[in-house]
Chains A and B, each alone.
Chain A
Amino acid sequence: GAGVSQTPSNKVTEKGKYVELRCDPISGHTALYWYRQSLGQGPEFLIYFQGTGAADDSGLPNDRFFAVRPEGSVSTLKIQRTERGDSAVYLCASSGGLAGTNEQFFGPGTRLTVL
């Protein structure tokens, strides 16, 4: 596609439920990033993939959060036993190549609301 896409655009769930958020990066981009943006704050890094492997998962807040990218393209962020504090906009970005400035291109985000 022309840009990074994320589905769903909005997700409402109940406390304790499991959710999956999907990211389709720009075709050919090898790097993929997940960020979380809480209301009134800047985005916070969660995890970064280079190809299929997680190169840096230092931003995942706890073991309820997990992300995969099995074929080096689409990625899924998985949240188990959701809590109200997980409510935020989850942003995905992708970038291409292994050298250069590697600009990150962002998707529109998935707004997650945990009731």
Chain B
Amino acid sequence: AQSVTQLGSHVSVSEGALVLLRCNYSSSVPPYLFWYVQYPNQGLQLLLKYTSAATLVKGINGFEAEFKKSETSFHLTKPSAHMSDAAEYFCAVSKAAGNKLTFGGGTRVLVKP
């Protein structure tokens, strides 16, 4: 069975500071990995995805994530936080394209002015 662990249910960063959200996964097969963002009262929006191509993946809104097989990690980063980045972020894994997603518990990001 696959699983995803997100370290830290809440993260607080200052505007302009680095955003780092941690995600570790377990999977019996090479995984597909995703980061989604959820703004209040809105649906999940895909930020970026890893599908066995380049290990450093760039997404929308200046976010990127690096797949590290040896560490079974897929941490999300953004060099400079913006107030509009305040939201909840979910890491997810699937076994194959089109397969069901297994989500982590989420990390809520607060951006301080």
Contact = CB atoms under 8 A, between A and B. Distances in A.
Given A4-B43, A102-B98, A103-B49, 11 more contacts: A31-B98, A33-B100, A40-B106, A42-B6, A43-B90, A45-B100, A91-B43, A91-B44, A93-B44, A99-B97, A100-B97
Given A31-B98, A108-B43, A109-B43, A42 B105 contact: yes
Interface residues of A, number: 30
Interface of B: 4, 6, 9, 32, 36, 41-46, 49, 51, 90, 92, 97-106
Most A Cβ at <10 Å: residue of B9, B45, B97, B100? B100
A49 to B, nearest CB: 11
B100 A102 contact: no
Interface in A64-115: 91, 93, 95, 98-109
Contacts of A105: 46
A101 B49 contact: yes
Contacts, number: 60
Most B Cβ at <10 Å: residue of A98, A100, A101? A101
Interface in A1-27: 3-4
B97 A106 contact: no
Contacts of B9: 40
15 contacts: A4-B43, A31-B98, A33-B100, A41-B105, A45-B100, A45-B101, A45-B102, A93-B44, A95-B98, A98-B98, A103-B46, A103-B49, A104-B101, A105-B46, A108-B43
